[in-house]
Amino acid sequence: MDKPEIIGGDAIAKANGKLCSFSMRWEIDGDYMRCRICQRPQLTSYARYPFPHDAGCMGAQAHEEHPWITFVQLLAPLWQEIGK
Ligand SMILES: [Zn+2]
């Protein structure tokens, strides 16, 4: 049986770095995305809504407004490789 191909290259390395950085700001908890500062959740269904941080959470200024959309975009390079 052939070994599965390891995916790599610049696009994957760049995606890996962005995933690491993303996970410093956000945590995926089942079908919720949680802010690592205020711990508030957002369900996938609300991906197009601005993230509902706690009042006064620094993440409201420091983090992207739509983390689910960012997450899907971060996976695009992986999808390009795996979908081949
Ligand atoms: Zn927050």
For 37-55, the pLDDT digits (tens) are 999 999 999 999 999 999 9
Q: What is the mean pLDDT of residues 7-28?
A: 95
Instruction: Give the residues across from 27 on adjacent strands.
Output: 34
Interhelix angle 10-25/67-82, nearest 10 degrees: 150
What is the distance in A from the centroid of ligand 1 to the CA of 21?
A: 16
Q: What is the DSSP letter of 43?
A: E
Residue % of the chain over a pLDDT of 90: 87
d(CA 56, CA 67): 18
pTM for the predicted model, two decimal places: 0.90
What is the distance in A from the centroid of ligand 1 to the CA of 22?
A: 14
